[in-house]
Amino acid sequence: MQPRIVLDTNVLVAGVRSRLGASFRLLSALGESPPSFGIVLSVPLVLEYEELLHRHQRVAGLTRQDIRELLDYLCSIGEHQEIFYLWRPVLRDPKDDLLLEVAVAADADAIVTHNVRDFNASSTFGISVLRPAEFLVSIGGTK
């Protein structure tokens, strides 16, 4: 069974801002067939993605249409997870709690983020926290 992950917004933004690095490779791998992993989303998480993509739109060289298409694509391939129980506050940042709640509700394998230290309490819930390069290595991708 393929691993299911929750992508932190910082990975999504890094992946669209630069074609160099593990974040871009991770986003590119979403289009593979057969997929080597799946992503889990919630409505609040997609709204957070949208807000940050618009904030970085100019630097990333994206149009509003590009952002809409990317979000539509993520929603079409991602597994939608409803949140029935809020675990807040567990982490220092409420926006990080949002990611943890999705991961816990979906019984996801990992949260993929550049801010690993921000998710120390995730281990309490059995959720791994990995950087994009670490996750790619864990699924047999290259570093």
Every domain of the chain and the residues it spans:
4-138
The matching CATH number, chosen from 3.20.20.480, 3.30.9.10, 3.40.50.1010, 1.10.3720.10, for 4-138 is 3.40.50.1010
Q: Please state, in angstroms and rounded to a whole number, the distance separating the CA atoms of residues 129 and 61.
A: 29
Q: Is the Cα torsion angle 118, 26, 73, 106 positive or negative in sign?
A: negative
Helix 64-77 vs helix 43-55: crossing angle, to nearest 10? 150
Provide the whole-model pTM.
0.92
The count of residues in the chain is 143
Beta-carbon count within 10 A of 131 CB: 18
Supply 85's token pair: 């129980």
Taking only the tens of pLDDT, the chain with its 143 residues reads: 799 999 999 999 999 999 999 999 999 999 888 889 999 999 999 999 999 999 999 999 999 999 999 999 999 999 999 987 666 666 677 778 889 999 999 999 999 999 998 888 788 888 999 999 999 999 987 65
Residue 40 bridge partners (DSSP): 79
